[in-house]
Amino acid sequence: MSLFQRKNSKLIEIQEEPFKLERDLQRLTEENLETIFGLEFVKTEFPVEGLEIDTLAYDKEKNAFVIIEYKRDGSFSIVDQGLSYLSRMFKYKAEFILGYNEEKKANLKREDIDWSQSRVLFLARSFTTHQQNAINFRNLPIELWEVTQYNNNSVLYNRVQSEGAAESIEVFDQNPNVKKVSREVKEYIEEDVVPKNSKAEKLYQLLKKKVLVIEPNFTPHVTKFYIGFRIPGNWRIVFAVWSSREKLRVDFTRSKPQDFKDPEKKVYYRKDSFKQYNQHLSRMDVESEKDVEYAVYLIGQLYDRFKKM
């Protein structure tokens, strides 16, 4: 496939311009971590017991550390290296907390962190078929990102998606790091948040079906406590769904109640949301199919504003 830049009626082919040095990719990524991944930069070349992590980041949404490694060739084992990094993290949790607090002048505590949401990101120009197949396992907290730089100053970060994984990482029973990592991490799915065979599940499925009419590219992003809906290529969550067995609560991000046309006055402000999440959050309770229709009406308004942000 060829990529072109249009200049009036002419098309000029855009050529790849590989990064000259691995360090160039690292520096660019670290300076734009929030824009690319929605992550907070902590430290470059973070040392921990004989191992030096290229980039240490923190995911404020999941309250978890993220390790980022940069590779120039395909001669490394995704699973072995990824699990080794995570195993080292879980063994030396105190060093990671101390490193964060020193760099950010913060007071992060062990109980503030959800270690089950830790993950490793490998960034490279490309990955071999073998490496891509290696991440096709459940509960494998490893992501592959191919990064391509072009001669028109464009840079593409593209996540390599695994196929529907059936096997768990525990099939690697010979890997000494598997048991340690599998005890700590968990890949959450929608039914972990929305109870199966419940009234809330019926409401959730109806809500999801209707919001996909507004934006077919909405993608559920499942965390330990809620399901956030994003648009591919943008890390920001547009709205989030919390659940009990009987009802849903829908959070509208970066919003106050007065931002909506809300004739039924169903939207209320989440107290202290700006203090806790550094953004204003509003919420609506969804307890019936009629509430679903109204929530979709509000999400449509939010999405229109989101596109202009």
Please check whether residues 27 and 132 belong to one and the same domain: yes
Q: In this structure, what CATH number is given to the domain that contains residue 265?
A: 3.90.1150.20
Separation between Cα atoms, residue 36 and residue 231, nearest integer Å: 13
Please check whether residues 77 and 40 belong to one and the same domain: yes
pLDDT tens track for 115-159: 999 999 999 999 988 888 877 777 788 999 999 999 998 999 998
Range of the domain at 58: 11-184
Task: Name which of 107, 298, 190, 243 is nearest 306 in CA terms.
Answer: 298
Render 115-133 in DSSP notation, one character per residue: GGG-EEEEEES---HHHHH
| Residue 210 included in any domain | yes
Separation between Cα atoms, residue 16 and residue 195, nearest integer Å: 47
Is the pLDDT at 107 greater than 80, yes or no? yes
Is the pLDDT at 38 greater than 90, yes or no? no
Please check whether residues 252 and 161 belong to one and the same domain: no
The alpha carbons of the chain give a radius of gyration, in whole angstroms, of 21
Instruction: Tell me what the mean pLDDT of segment 21-37 comes to.
Output: 92
Encoded tokens for 90: 């879980």
Is the pLDDT at 164 greater than 60, yes or no? no
Separation between Cα atoms, residue 240 and residue 237, nearest integer Å: 7
Is the pLDDT at 173 greater than 60, yes or no? no
Please check whether residues 163 and 118 belong to one and the same domain: yes
Is the pLDDT at 95 greater than 70, yes or no? yes
Classify residue 307 as exposed, middle or buried by CB count within 10 Å of its CB (0-12, 13-18, 19+): exposed
Q: How confident is the model at residue 179 (pLDDT cuts 50, 70, 90)?
A: low
Instruction: Give 13's Cβ-side CA count (13 Å radius).
Output: 5
Separation between Cα atoms, residue 47 and residue 95, nearest integer Å: 9
Q: In this structure, what CATH number is given to the domain that contains residue 16?
A: 3.40.1350
Please check whether residues 81 and 196 belong to one and the same domain: no
Is the pLDDT at 11 greater than 80, yes or no? yes
Please check whether residues 150 and 78 belong to one and the same domain: yes
Is the pLDDT at 272 greater than 90, yes or no? no
Is the pLDDT at 234 greater than 80, yes or no? no
Q: What pLDDT score was predicted for residue 136? A: 78
SS3 percent helix, strand, coil of the chain, rounded to 5, is 35, 30, 35
Please check whether residues 162 and 243 belong to one and the same domain: no
Please check whether residues 230 and 279 belong to one and the same domain: yes
List the single range of 164-178, 208-222, 241-255 with lowest mean pLDDT: 164-178
Please check whether residues 69 and 166 belong to one and the same domain: yes
Which letter does DSSP use for residue 197 in this model?
A: T
Q: What's the angle, vertex CA 208, arms to CA 229 and CA 245, rounded to 5?
A: 95
How far CA 269 is from CA of 110, 153, 249, in Å, comes to 30, 42, 12
| Residue 2 included in any domain | no
| Residue 270 included in any domain | yes
Share of residues in the chain with pLDDT > 90 (%): 58
Is the pLDDT at 273 greater than 90, yes or no? no
Domain count of the fold of the chain: 2
**Helices 289-308 + 199-214 axis angle, to 10:** 40
CB atoms within 10 A of CB 193: 21
